Structure 1
């Protein structure tokens, strides 16, 4: 039984939230995982999600917003169906990360934290995706693509646009 009577989340997600609260010594510690799960289910962290998560954790809405605004991987607006994150941290930068980012901007016709008019792609410059040995790298949703070239990026984006995504190398 969910702790919140009128949840905006699916019954499975509400149950996951209820469980999360039990595994941390302080309820507040479940905040970031809840925000990530909410974003996965809703596509972004909406105002109703902020309110419900605050209520579940006995926090003020402002406490949730403060954490939400701190983490760049959390969104308050919908992203595209395919969220392209290009790493520009030191290893990727030295191996062409900014060229890959600029290429994505030109190819998709959007800038950082923007979404294509058809809602298909969104683009973000990110600090690190943990692929330093295979730089430059990007992530599309949760799929990693590394050792990138502009030609490889074109092929990857074409595969996602065609709905085939993931295993494009």
Structure 2
């Protein structure tokens, strides 16, 4: 059984973080030639290890890099790439770049928000789906684009959204 590092949970989804993951992150940080100027690099690694960047991971990084926790939080909250809440089991990314927007990405986003009962950047209460608006995904010829997990759906029409979503709902 793996040892858990329990640091005052802030909500039900953030109860226990495995000590092994903190050890892996610590090894990574210790392996850096220099820690100054590596915050974003360390945050990328931490998000890869933990799947997201909860408060306790941010504070751990701040202590290990000897920088204020507010600076770490500022970077995490500034960049859309970083998540401070656990993502859903299924992540739906809707491209909102110019080509996708012109071809109706806003209508697709509105439909998914209504269907899932969440706004962009949120996760459903059951933790199943996370909905994100993302900038250009580099598939403009397929606009509008919806990416569910690793699967890319191109030239998506609003009337296809329920069929796409049905593939990922729990049976």
Using the alignment, how far apart are the partners of 2:130 and 2:117 within structure 1? 10
3-state SS, counterpart of residue 160 of structure 1: coil
Q: Are the equivalent residues in 1 in contact too, given 2:93–2:131 (CA < 8 A)?
A: yes
Q: For 1:70-109, list aligned pairs within 5 A.
A: 70-109=78-117
Question: Which blocks of at least 5 consecutive residues in structure 1 are unaligned?
Answer: 1-5, 164-169
Unaligned runs of at least 5 residues, structure 2: 1-17
CA RMSD of aligned residues (A): 2.6
- Are residues 115 and 63 of structure 1, via their aligned partners in 2, closer, same or farther at CA, if it must alter by over 3 Å? same
User: Within 1, Cα distance between the matches of 2:77 and 2:160?
Assistant: 33
SS of the equivalent of 1:85 reads strand
Q: TM-score, normalization: structure 2?
A: 0.74
The 1:47/1:107 distance shift into structure 2, 3 A limit, reads: same
User: 1:45-79 deviations in whole A, cap 9, x for unaligned?
Assistant: 11111111122323221221121111012122222
Say which SS state the counterpart of residue 161 (structure 1) adopts: coil
Contact 1:7 1:52 in 2 (8 A): no
Moved more, 85-94 or 129-138: 129-138
Map Cα deviations across residues 75-108 of structure 1 (whole Å, 9 max, x no partner). 2222211121212121110111111111211221
1:11 deviates by: 4.3
Name the residue aligned to 1:123.
Answer: 131
Q: Following TM superposition, by how much is the alpha carbon of 1:43 offset from its aligned partner in structure 2, in angstroms?
A: 3.4
Q: Secondary structure at the match of 2:94?
A: strand
* Matches of 1:35 and 1:128, distance apart in 2: 23
